[in-house]
Amino acid sequence: TGIDATTEERNIVLEGTKNGDGVGTFGGSEDHAAILMGKKRKLTLLSFCPTRPASFAVDQLNGLTVCNSEDIDTESKDVNQKSELELPSKLVFVIAYSGARAEKAGQGTEASIGYNYASDMASKAFKAYNACSTAAIHDDEQKKLHTLADSIRYERKKQSISHVTSCEDQVKKIISDKVLKGSAAVRGDDHATVADFGNLLTKRFEQFYEESEVLVPTAAYCLAESDRLQMLGPIVDKSHRNAVNILKNQIKETAWLPLWARGIEHQLKTKPTLYVDESKKNLERITAFASSAFGAGFGGSCWALVYRDEAEKFLLQWRSAYDEAFPANGSSREFFITEPGPGAFLL
C-alpha cells in the first residue's frame, strides 16, 4: 500500500546489491510482489515490510470512512473490502508506454537518484517521527516500530482511533507534527533549509499516508461494485496529482497521459510541471474511468481503465493525441489493451 522504508537500510537492501545501487531495493519491493503474486483478472491489496495481504472496512454512510483491518480488534473485525477483488468483466486496462526510458540500473542515473531520493525521504520522515517520539515511547514498543506504517498503527492504537474519515484525521496530524518537529535531527547534508526540509518531509509523509491509508483502499472499494465506478476517477486523479506535485517522479509525458485519458489535460501546467485541480471535461471523446502513471516514475508507462467495448477506439484516440502533443522523434512507444494476469510460473 505504498513505499515503506525501515530505519536500518541494510535490513531491506536486496542481497547482492549495495546501498544506492539500483531502484526498488530499499522498500516494499512492490514490483517483485506483483510479479510473483498476480492472479488472472484479480486485483490484490498488499501491505509491505513484511509483504502480506491488506484488507479494510469502508463505510460510505457519513462520507467515506476507511479502517485498516490491522487497526481493528481481531474479535470484532468487520472487513468489507477484502485483499482481492475481481476486475469487472466489462472493464479492461489500456497501457501507454511513453517511450521515455527510465534508466534505473546502477548509480548516478536521473531515475535512480530521483526514485531513491523519494524512498529516502520516506525513511527520513520515519526517523524524524522517531526522533520526536523516542522519549514518549516505551523501549519495548519503540523496538517494534520500523516503518511509517508501524508509526501509523502505533498512533492509532495509542489514540484509540481505528479509522480515517474524509473530513478529519487526527492521527495524520499527530504524525505530521512529530515529523516536522523531528526533521532537524535527520536533515544531514540535505541542502534545503531546516524549515524547507521539515516541510518536504511532512509532505512526503502525508503523501504516503494518503496513498496507503485512504486512496488505495477507497479505490478498491469503488472497483468492487459497478455502481461505485464513477467515484473512482477523482480518487485516482488525486493519487496521480500527488505523484506529480509531491513525489515529483513524473516527466511531462507521464504527467500528461493520464490527464488526457480523463479529459482534463488542461490542468497540467508545465513551467514548472504542476497538476492543478480544476474541473472541466471534453465530452466529445471517450474518457477513462480512471488513469494514472505507475511504476517508479521518471519515464515509463501509464494505465487507463475503460469499457471493454470502447477500448480499441479509446486506444487510437489516446495514441493519436499523444503523438500530436509529444512527437516521437525516433523514440519507441507502445499502446495496448490488457487485463490483470497470473504471477510468474514455471512452464
One digit per residue, the tens of pLDDT, for the chain of length 347 reads: 333 333 333 345 555 555 545 555 455 577 888 888 899 999 999 888 888 888 888 877 656 678 887 887 644 445 566 789 999 999 999 999 999 876 655 555 555 556 677 778 988 999 999 888 765 666 667 667 888 999 999 988 888 887 776 556 889 999 999 999 999 999 887 767 778 999 999 999 999 999 999 999 999 989 988 888 999 999 999 999 999 999 888 999 999 999 999 999 988 876 666 666 654 444 478 999 999 999 878 889 999 999 999 999 999 999 999 999 999 887 789 999 999 999 998 88
Looking only at the bridges linking them, the beta strands covering 65-68 and 46-47 are: unpaired
Q: Which residue has the cell 536500518?
A: 8
The three cell numbers of residue 112 are: 535512480
User: Is-contact 257 250, C-beta < 8 A?
Assistant: no
- C-alpha 316: how far from chain center: 28
> How is residue 33 annotated by DSSP?
H
User: Is-contact 164 152, C-beta < 8 A?
Assistant: no
Residues listed for the chain = 347
* Helices and strands per DSSP (H, E), number in the chain: 10, 13
